[in-house]
Homo-oligomer: A and B are copies of this chain.
Amino acid sequence: MTISLDPHYAFDKTDVLSVNAIRACAADTVFKSNSGHPGAPMGMAPAAHVLFTAIMKANPKNSSWWNRDRFVLSNGHACALYYIMLHLMSYKVSLDDVKNFRQLESNTPGHPEVGITDGIEVTTGPLGQGFANGVGLAIAQTHLAATFNKPNYPLFDNYTFVFTGDGCLQEGVASEAASLAGHLRLGNLIVIWDDNKITIDGNTQNSFTEDIEMRFTAYGWEVLYIEDGNLDLDGIYFTIQRAKQNKDQPTLIAMSTIIGYGSSLQGQVVVHGAPLKAADIGGMKSRFGFDPSENFYIPEATRELYARATERGIAANEKWNQLWADYKAHHPIDSAELERRMEKRLPDGWESALPVYCPGDPAAQGRVYSQTALTKIAEILPEFVGGSADLTGANLSRWIDAVDYQAPETNLGQRTGRYIRYGVREHAMVAICNGLDAYGGIIPYNATFLNFVSYAAGAVRLSALSHHRVLNVATHDSIGLGEDGPTHQPVETAAWLRALPNMKLWRPADGNEVSAAYIESIKDTRHPSTLCLSRQDLVNLEGSTIERALRGGYTLQEADNADITFVSTGSEVQIVVAAARILADQGVTCRIASLPCWEVFERNDEEYKLSVLPSGAPIISVEAYSTFGWGVYSHEHIGLPGFGMSGPAAQVYEKFGLTPEAIALRASKILDIYKSDGEKVRSPLLSATRRILQKERFA
């Protein structure tokens, strides 16, 4: 293959000087913070230099340019390098910011966090995540290009570049993502593997002796080599350019480097995760021809070189702006639509497309309401893109006329397709969704059984930390799945997801609540959601409306002078309604609250929340999970004592006392105790801590 090398990029001594300055600066950064990882930044400085100054098409003055090349530092612990590059390229990262590395409330935290630092695309550090995010970013580019590009209007033609170390490549999440990327023939994805033979435990010989290049070839990737990643800037450049020319396959570039290059201890594991000694840094600077006493030294020639690179990025963005202006003139409808999508605006009144149910309407499974809802959403929101981890027919996660997102050469679908066949790869699926959201213009969803959302826990956590709007459609949400048994029945999953900051766990009780869950999950652009959907039928409840459910919790059945308030979620609400009827026959008056989403319920004012869960009567929760965590809202909790069981769903419910009769009996026993105790009953919402926090908030 012929490579046309832009003569501009003849690397010279200024580049070498710059690379060495970056190495020294990385060592200084970690030394000053007395914490962090110098080895990978020093080893990957040449690749970063070539990529940022000579290859990447990005505008540091407009880091949200839609068609920028995306860079992902999957080995996020190497972020000293990343921050230095962002500084040199004139992103909003000052040299003082770099010096403030890993300090409280700095914009240069210990691992890269999107939203904290200008120019950072995705949050990385937990190994393997960035790699899989990169697959999501690459999918998004191909999808938006196929959807919006026109002849002569390559609005989206950017690449995604990922740096990875050995650690990421050992992680299952990266393996899953790599397999899918190969299947999807993502020619716009280029991964540069820092092949330095060192992991924290020593030489890769200790645990990682597979033939990585063969593995990626097996996945359908092209594999290229950079034999000397320490010095051969031309080789780095040519190889990446070569990778860009392969439009049909993702590329893994195996780049040999020496970890901690420049240190007297280079190549050894000690340079990985702790600051170098001062004398070592000084010696290195001397060898590089720098003043050993000067820290954070950036040569003027380096400043100039990077300024030119920045200018080229600005110019590229300006050229694209012209293209966009022309596109807008010639394609007003498409451009308006694209703008709407990229700005995360929703069409006026889109929510009205969601189905509204009345108490008389036939009962349906939670997953069926979900399929109805997502079918409507798919019609009205073309940015709604997702799929299932090979459980399409069980999750009911596909609308009937969906087109698969596939490489068109396979005749299995199109790049414009919006249904992704993730395969049995839950962890990569969610990490890819994080990448789709990070790219923009897409509302990503995914689907599996609720129990297997746990397989994706590493990525789910980063959805939450990074404020990605990702919808996890989680069907088969309880022991109600029945025969599949305890290996498939979630018990602890809701507690985990409710304890996870920023995550909204929705557990809708009927059709209206399912509609509300989708509406709120899509409207809220800053938080991920997990929608727990039943396999068994959900009756449409008297008292439920979409509007009420949108508050996250509401009074389903009000009663004056109630003896008991029941609070419940999902498929157990209808059981509680029946239990309340039994109790009513016994002269016990019950209020019922439905609490489909705790995180959203908390956003209401105190008065409203207290109206749902008031003082004066014991509040009893009912949920077919571990009762762990219910103390926030209820005095007494009815749930599972341990794992579930294999058997027909109704029998499993009965086994665990989750029938109307058993609940009524338990509740009346509870009530007897409260009566005999004769104490005032205060809502858990009136805990001293809540009252203090409330007061502090308004002080």
Chain A residues near B (Cβ < 8 Å): 33, 35-36, 76, 102-106, 109-111, 113, 123-128, 166-168, 170-176, 179-180, 182-183, 199-201, 205-215, 217-220, 273, 388, 390-394, 404, 406, 410, 412, 421-428, 451-452, 454-455, 457-458, 461-462, 464-465, 482-488, 491-492, 495-496, 498-502, 618, 626, 628-632, 635-638, 641-643, 645-648, 651-652, 655, 666, 669-670, 673-674, 679-680, 682, 684, 687-689, 691-692
From the candidates B455, B462, B631, B632, name the one contacting A487 in the complex (CB within 8 A). Answer: B462
Cβ of A41 to closest chain B Cβ, rounded Å = 15
Contact assessment for A109 and B215 in the assembled complex, using a CB-CB cutoff below 8 Å: no
Cβ of A468 to closest chain B Cβ, rounded Å = 14
Which interface residue of A487, A492, A629, A691 has the most chain B CB atoms within 10 A? A487
- On whether A626 and B499 interact (CB within 8 A), knowing A170-B425, A692-B669, the answer reads yes
Q: A640's closest neighbor in chain B, by CB?
A: B501
Cβ of A161 to closest chain B Cβ, rounded Å = 21
A393 contact set on B, CB distance < 8 A: 200-201, 273
Cβ of A109 to closest chain B Cβ, rounded Å = 3
From the candidates B111, B213, B412, B486, name the one contacting A484 in the complex (CB within 8 A). Answer: B111
Contact assessment for A501 and B642 in the assembled complex, using a CB-CB cutoff below 8 Å: yes
Contact assessment for A488 and B684 in the assembled complex, using a CB-CB cutoff below 8 Å: no
Contact assessment for B647 and A105 in the assembled complex, using a CB-CB cutoff below 8 Å: yes
Contact assessment for B176 and A171 in the assembled complex, using a CB-CB cutoff below 8 Å: yes
Cβ of A653 to closest chain B Cβ, rounded Å = 11
A692 contact set on B, CB distance < 8 A: 666, 669-670, 673
Contact assessment for B424 and A104 in the assembled complex, using a CB-CB cutoff below 8 Å: no
Contact assessment for B170 and A646 in the assembled complex, using a CB-CB cutoff below 8 Å: no
Other CB < 8 Å A-B pairs besides A35-B483, A36-B483, A183-B207, 20 of them?
A: A102-B485, A109-B486, A111-B488, A111-B646, A113-B486, A125-B487, A127-B424, A170-B424, A170-B425, A171-B176, A172-B427, A201-B393, A210-B219, A215-B219, A218-B218, A273-B393, A495-B495, A495-B498, A501-B626, A618-B688
A-B pairs with the 4 shortest C-beta distances? Answer: A631-B631, A172-B172, A104-B647, A109-B646
A168 contact set on B, CB distance < 8 A: 424
From the candidates B394, B424, B642, B688, name the one contacting A673 in the complex (CB within 8 A). Answer: B688
Contact assessment for A483 and B33 in the assembled complex, using a CB-CB cutoff below 8 Å: yes
Contact assessment for B179 and A104 in the assembled complex, using a CB-CB cutoff below 8 Å: no
A645 contact set on B, CB distance < 8 A: 104-105, 109
A404 contact set on B, CB distance < 8 A: 206
From the candidates B104, B111, B394, B499, name the one contacting A200 in the complex (CB within 8 A). Answer: B394
Cβ of A632 to closest chain B Cβ, rounded Å = 6
In the complex, 7 of the A-B residue pairs with CB atoms within 8 angstroms, ordered by the A residue number, are: A76-B487, A104-B646, A105-B645, A123-B487, A200-B393, A218-B218, A673-B691
A464 contact set on B, CB distance < 8 A: 643
Contact assessment for A205 and B412 in the assembled complex, using a CB-CB cutoff below 8 Å: yes
From the candidates B126, B632, B635, name the one contacting A488 in the complex (CB within 8 A). Answer: B126
Q: A690's closest neighbor in chain B, by CB?
A: B636
- On whether A496 and B492 interact (CB within 8 A), knowing A199-B390, A645-B104, A689-B670, the answer reads yes
Q: A496's closest neighbor in chain B, by CB?
A: B496
Cβ of A372 to closest chain B Cβ, rounded Å = 21
Contact assessment for A428 and B487 in the assembled complex, using a CB-CB cutoff below 8 Å: no
A496 contact set on B, CB distance < 8 A: 492, 495-496, 499
Contact assessment for B422 and A207 in the assembled complex, using a CB-CB cutoff below 8 Å: yes
- On whether A201 and B487 interact (CB within 8 A), knowing A109-B646, A171-B172, A689-B670, the answer reads no
A175 contact set on B, CB distance < 8 A: 172, 175-176
- On whether A110 and B483 interact (CB within 8 A), knowing A218-B210, A680-B679, the answer reads yes
- On whether A423 and B180 interact (CB within 8 A), knowing A33-B483, A499-B496, the answer reads no
- On whether A390 and B207 interact (CB within 8 A), knowing A36-B483, A170-B179, A646-B102, the answer reads yes
Q: How far apart sit A390 and B179, CA to CA, in the bound complex (Å)?
A: 24
A172 contact set on B, CB distance < 8 A: 171-176, 425, 427-428
Q: A647's closest neighbor in chain B, by CB?
A: B104
- On whether A111 and B482 interact (CB within 8 A), knowing A210-B183, A687-B635, the answer reads no
Q: How far apart sit A315 and B485, CA to CA, in the bound complex (Å)?
A: 36
Contact assessment for A104 and B655 in the assembled complex, using a CB-CB cutoff below 8 Å: yes
Contact assessment for B205 and A211 in the assembled complex, using a CB-CB cutoff below 8 Å: no
- On whether A485 and B392 interact (CB within 8 A), knowing A218-B214, A495-B629, the answer reads no
Contact assessment for A498 and B673 in the assembled complex, using a CB-CB cutoff below 8 Å: no
A173 contact set on B, CB distance < 8 A: 172, 455
Q: A36's closest neighbor in chain B, by CB?
A: B483
Cβ of A255 to closest chain B Cβ, rounded Å = 19
A687 contact set on B, CB distance < 8 A: 635-636
A127 contact set on B, CB distance < 8 A: 424
Contact assessment for B647 and A102 in the assembled complex, using a CB-CB cutoff below 8 Å: yes
Q: How far apart sit A406 and B205, CA to CA, in the bound complex (Å)?
A: 11
Q: A215's closest neighbor in chain B, by CB?
A: B218
A491 contact set on B, CB distance < 8 A: 499-501
A427 contact set on B, CB distance < 8 A: 172
- On whether A454 and B452 interact (CB within 8 A), knowing A35-B483, A465-B486, the answer reads no
From the candidates B213, B484, B492, name the one contacting A110 in the complex (CB within 8 A). Answer: B484
A273 contact set on B, CB distance < 8 A: 393-394
Contact assessment for B626 and A628 in the assembled complex, using a CB-CB cutoff below 8 Å: no
Cβ of A250 to closest chain B Cβ, rounded Å = 12
A669 contact set on B, CB distance < 8 A: 688, 692
